[in-house]
Amino acid sequence: MAAELFSLAGKTALVTGGASGIGQAIAVALAQAGADVAITVHSAAADETHALVAATGRRYHEVQCDLGSQADVQALLDAVAAELGPVDILVNNAGIIRRADLVEFGEEDWSDVLAVNLDAVWRLSQAAARGMVQRGGGKIINIASLLSFQGGIRVPSYTASKHAVVGLTKAFANELSSKCVNVNCIAPGYIETANTAALRQDEQRSRQIMERIPAGRWGRPSDLGGAAVFLASSAADYVHGHTLVVDGGWMAR
């Protein structure tokens, strides 16, 4: 019974930004739970993700897509459906970050981050929700951040986008929960990815971060896999509009 609650057999999942890091880890975890998995990639093919998903025995598809340039999201969903079937699980993971002092932060750095981290989440979720409602249900999982709750340093556009993602999650949940579409968030803590490379290379900042994490280590992308499987599965059918923090205890400190 417990295994069936968390099984994703027969489901199709789309993970944006699945070539590496958190997106790759979530894509693999969903495949391990039984889902066929599609990912978006921005440039080079995601050979490693392909191999990891294939090793689970599940089907895999990737779509070249620039989510920051008003991509045709319905065409993206149609491409996945043609290969794997309609999208049952959408994970809005793709995101970028730009760092600069507030008084010097450029307009382009503001708009570029919002385009990927917020606008694409809105458009893709809206398009996916239409199909999910018609088919009688689905799961949308957004990737938030600790900076959905805090202000951060030198990352105003990233912070704004991640606050907005949590609000958008609640707004979608309020309208879609009665239609058997679950919309929730995962808020990762400090995870070892390309987006946090600058922090980890800053000896002082890295030490300050580590001192606050009760678990005593930076998170790994694989730490997010279980949370994603839970929210994508029938075990979370009564979970709506929630932000699940996976942070090694940071927010409890």
For the annotated catalytic residues, the residue numbers are 158
Task: Give the angle subtended at the CA of 202 by the CAs of 199 and 205, to the nearest 5°.
Answer: 70
Closest CA to 92 of 136, 122, 114: 122
Structure tokens at 106: 């450029």
- Decide: 218 and 200 in contact? Cβ < 8 Å: yes
- Decide: 92 and 116 in contact? Cβ < 8 Å: no
Q: 3-state secondary structure string, 87-114?
A: CCEEEECCCCCCCCCHHHCCHHHHHHHH
Please tell me the distance from the alpha carbon of residue 88 to that of residue 174, in angstroms, as a whole number.
19
Q: Strands across the sheet with 36-41, in order?
A: 60-64, 36-41, 12-15, 89-92, 138-143, 181-188, 243-246
Q: How many CB atoms lie within 10 A of CB 242?
A: 17
Q: Distances from the Cα of 102 to the Cαs of 99, 119, 213, 234, 246, in angstroms?
A: 9, 22, 26, 43, 28
Q: Distances from the Cα of 164 to the Cαs of 143, 148, 217, in angstroms?
A: 11, 8, 28
